[in-house]
Structure 1
Amino acid sequence: MYVTDEQALSAPAAGTEAAVRELRDRTEIIDALYRFGLGQDLKDRELFASAFAADAELDFGPAAAKWGGKPPLLAGRDTIVTTILGMFAGRVDTTHQVTNPRVAVDGDTARLTALVEAQHLLTTGHATFALLKNPYDVDLIRDGDRWVIRHLRIDNAWYTGDPAAIFAG
């Protein structure tokens, strides 16, 4: 489930070319998650969409279950983008901070685990908020020179505040 390898790079230390290639991949893999977070925060449809493969899936169910929520599995880049940005546009201000990224690359697929702190505040009054610390489990695929999310599973370590700041009602 989570990337628990004992070291960051698999390329041999003496293999400069392989190490550079692996470092580029790792940077692009983590950038997919940065595009996911910043795309939401800026309400930037193109940036947010650039994080996902066309057939991507986003599973927020494990996190929402912590407070009794049951969101559907979102399938397909267009559905994910339209649903998430539509849910927040004009209603919720967000910030996402990504920490502790761990990456495992296997050819044209990769796995990323990270912690994401996600702040959600109602635009009409920041006193209603939800602050979450979420472990992310991400499967990615290579898309040319960049990487995109194929499957994103969001769990929750803890939260404070009111989940209505995320989901209306």
Structure 2
Amino acid sequence: MNTILQHAAPLPERPHFPPASTGPLASPDEHAAVLDALLRFAAGQDLGDAALFRSAFTPDATLDFTQPAARLGVELPAFDTLDGIAGAILPIVAKLDTTHTVSNARIHRTGHEQAQLFALVEAMHLPKAAAGDARSSLLLKNFYWCDAVRQQEVWKLRRVHIHNVWWQGQPDVLFGGRPD
């Protein structure tokens, strides 16, 4: 089995996220609270905890994974609504052992109950049946641009746009086969 390493093309025009060095930064407490929404999304996958995963999103959330999917040879629509996101992602990750590492988070306040979040996320995917065989794995390094809102004192993700920087491994780990 050949391991494939792909490097990303230049970043497309970014979603409307402020440059990293400008804009009102969230306070340390706000930073942690907003970031927790993305951490719930990641940990919900890694722990197989659907309630934790779902707690990360607003009911009207959207998640755009179209660019990473296309780089892996799969055409996907953006996922709309909490139920659509959970219905698309949770059945796939239920068959996998995953680890998501979130770093380099930048959070800007865009309103009293609104914020934008940028982060770098490394996601390792390994089929449960592979039992630690790294040759059957898929490692993704992605930029995340997110809009978050505070609802009843809890920050949630309303919009998530994911852009793959690079990947290594076997795309069929995530998608069950790569088209010719």
Report TM bin, short chain: 0.7 to 0.9
Deviation at residue 98 of structure 1 after TM alignment: 0.2
Equivalent of 1:58 in 63, 67, 80: 63
1-structure distance, mates of 2:138, 2:20: 32
* Contact 1:3 1:103 survives alignment (8 Å): no
> Which residue does the alignment assign to 2:97?
93
Q: Give unmatched runs, 5+ long, in structure 2.
A: 1-14
Letter paired with 1:65: A
How big is each residue's C-alpha offset from its partner over 1:58-109, in whole Å with a ceiling of 9 and x where there is no partner? 11001112222211211111121122111121x2110000000000112211
2-structure distance, mates of 1:75, 1:50: 16
2-structure distance, mates of 1:36, 1:113: 14
Cα distance change on mapping 1:117 and 1:63 into 2, 3 Å: same
Deviates further, 72-81 or 150-159? 72-81
Equivalent of 1:119 in 113, 124, 134: 124
After the TM superposition, which residues 20-169 of structure 1 pair with which residues of structure 2 at under 5 Å, given as runs? 22-89=27-94, 91-106=95-110, 107-125=112-130, 126=133, 127-169=135-177
Q: What's the TM-score, normalizing by structure 2?
A: 0.82
Letter paired with 2:65: F
2-structure distance, mates of 1:10, 1:82: 33
Moved over 3 A (4+): 7-11
SS of residue matched to 1:121: strand
Identical residues among aligned pairs (%): 39
2-structure distance, mates of 1:3, 1:86: 34
2-structure distance, mates of 1:113, 1:165: 26
Letter paired with 1:101: A
Q: Give unmatched runs, 5+ long, in structure 1.
A: 12-21
> Which residue does the alignment assign to 1:4?
19
Q: What's the TM-score, normalizing by structure 1?
A: 0.87
SS of residue matched to 1:124: helix
